[in-house]
Structure 1
């Protein structure tokens, strides 16, 4: 299976922009809400889920060989913007600090409201009845 060079370029460019956006949003949220809880990563992941829902609702779910637009937005930009690795590390850090309730709350907030944000984005884009 070969990948269209335009798709590769779209994913690379989107990933770079998404990573920079993640850094900017995470730092901005931390400045206002503090660093005692990983609010920045939570905001990034929830807003990313909402944006992914908007993309899925507006562009439709991708099939095999998704084109450059989906590759740029969903795979590159939002893939670079959201982060499971930071979420996992921050959950472990909360557990190591013996803050199990905060860790469990963080997991529940991220997963539960993340899925709700995805549904809201798809609904706002007209992708859900």
Structure 2
């Protein structure tokens, strides 16, 4: 049953990642990978909220949303690829900013979501 929930979550997360990435990137005329950044930050926000809920959420919800949806929505491999591509294109500033901003913003929104959810649940 858990594998099915992960699969179902992923069937929503993967197309949402693709569509969000295309939509966001089309609106920005920049080398910076705003689309990938956006989906990764969204995933950090959702996972932070799930973690903040703690045991208030049943395991099937964590499998569906946390593992399935967020696992398919977020993408460390594309983040890495785009950073390497920026370095190959000699866009070192954008590559460095991609790493720094992604890490700081991702950890920040996860912490905010965790703290907020934990306060609401607890």
Q: TM-score, normalised by structure 2?
A: 0.90
| 1:77 lines up with 2:69 in the alignment | yes
The alpha-carbon deviation at position 36 of structure 1 amounts to 2.3
- Whether contact under 8 Å (1:10, 1:72) holds in the other structure is yes
Structure 2 stretches lacking a partner, 5+ long:
none
**Which has the larger share of helix?**
2
Structure-2 change in CA distance of 1:61 and 1:90 (3 Å): farther
The alpha-carbon deviation at position 34 of structure 1 amounts to 3.1
- Aligned residue for 1:96? 88
Give the distance between the partners of 1:117 and 1:49, measured in 2 at CA. Answer: 6
- Whether contact under 8 Å (1:15, 1:78) holds in the other structure is yes
How many aligned positions are there? 120
| 1:46 alignment partner, one of 38, 41, 50 | 41
| 1:14 alignment partner, one of 9, 12, 17 | 9
Structure 1 stretches lacking a partner, 5+ long:
1-5
The alpha-carbon deviation at position 73 of structure 1 amounts to 0.6
Structure-2 change in CA distance of 1:32 and 1:38 (3 Å): same
- Whether contact under 8 Å (2:49, 2:110) holds in the other structure is yes
The alpha-carbon deviation at position 119 of structure 1 amounts to 0.4
- Whether contact under 8 Å (1:56, 1:127) holds in the other structure is no
- Whether contact under 8 Å (1:21, 1:81) holds in the other structure is yes
Give the distance between the partners of 2:95 and 2:24, measured in 1 at CA. Answer: 19
Structure-2 change in CA distance of 1:68 and 1:95 (3 Å): same
| 1:25 lines up with 2:26 in the alignment | no
